[in-house]
Amino acid sequence: MTAQIIDGNALSRQVRADVATRAASLTARGITPGLAVILVGENPASQVYVRNKVKACADAGLHSVLERYDADLSEAALLDRIAALNADPAIHGILVQLPLPRHIDDHKVIEAISPAKDVDGFHIASAGALMVGEVGFKACTPYGCMKMLESIGMANLRGKHAVVIGRSNIVGKPMAMMLLAANATVTVCHSGTADLGVFTRQADIVVAAVGKRNVLTADMVKPGAVVIDVGMNRNDEGKLCGDVDYAGVSTVAGWITPVPGGVGPMTITMLLVNTLEAAERLLPA
């Protein structure tokens, strides 16, 4: 068996084309979706992520504002800036790029963002809305994963068993909640779970999101399973790779996401979707 590839680049282009069409329609009605991105410090990876997000906005017809601050920016000053953006009618989404410098409390910053502009989906109100099935913003990476499952005909997961490897608030927990909302049976593990393969070999869907190379190998996968690789690592040659032993697992799985070109493009795409939806909610009913 050779797994079919879930092409994140191709799916991303489809979704972004729809975003561009909807954004143009909004702009014609006097509302240009606007995203404010805040970067504190000089983290190289964060700079790349932010640059890609700003470019994606421009390509889709969204207005974006990038605000860069030195690493010594005070927490109080950052909170004041977020308050101003909360009140700015031209800004529909606010994203503070993580990680932040150690002297700034990530949680306090995230909770300072208005839930109506929390397009990263990290606010406690967004998590609560997801839990009870109310309208809110979904965290972008798990949202992108769900879109990838939908693209292969797995929108409703009733009767399916999903295993999420990774318990972080950014991916693991919201991923589990979204899978539950799609009617899957969900098991959450982490890289230190004893006999991890006992769980993954039962799974119809495995989502690997721990940031550890080869956490999932071929002998740990049920034949025909869907494997979604959220990891971002470097191999011994310095090339980008995921959490999954791609060469081995792709001989067993039915579907698999590559790294790069899998979940990554969809994460940015769902940020655009969330920003667009934040603007669309301003339209009269």
Q: Is 260 found in the same domain as 215?
A: yes
Q: Is 162 found in the same domain as 67?
A: no
Catalytic positions are 53, 97, 120
Q: Is 211 found in the same domain as 159?
A: yes
Give 23-50 pLDDT, tens digit per residue: 999 999 999 999 999 999 998 888 988 9
* Residue keyed to tokens 């071929």: 218
Q: Rounded CA gap, 36 and 96, in Å? A: 8
Is 0.85 topped by the overall pTM?
yes
pLDDT band (50, 70, 90) for residue 128: confident
Question: Taking a C-beta distance cutoff of 8 angstroms, is the pair 172, 205 a contact?
Answer: no
Please say if the pLDDT value at position 132 is more than 90. Answer: no
- CATH number for the domain spanning 75: value is 3.40.50.10860
Give 68-96 pLDDT, tens digit per residue: 999 999 999 999 999 999 999 999 999 99
In a domain, residue 19? The reply is no
Q: Rounded CA gap, 248 and 234, in Å? A: 17
The whole-number pLDDT of residue 238 equals 87
Q: Is 244 found in the same domain as 207?
A: yes
CA 259 to centroid of chain Cα atoms: 15
Q: Which domain holds residue 166?
A: 140-264
Q: Is 235 found in the same domain as 181?
A: yes
- CATH number for the domain spanning 153: value is 3.40.50.720
* Highest averaged pLDDT of the listed ranges 168-182, 232-246, 254-268: 254-268
Q: Is 111 found in the same domain as 169?
A: no
The whole-number pLDDT of residue 285 equals 65
The whole-number pLDDT of residue 129 equals 85
In a domain, residue 203? The reply is yes
Q: Is 145 found in the same domain as 260?
A: yes
Q: Is 230 found in the same domain as 162?
A: yes
Q: Is 73 found in the same domain as 181?
A: no
Q: How many domains does the chain have?
A: 2
| In the chain, % of residues over pLDDT 70 | 99
The whole-number pLDDT of residue 177 equals 92
pLDDT band (50, 70, 90) for residue 187: very high
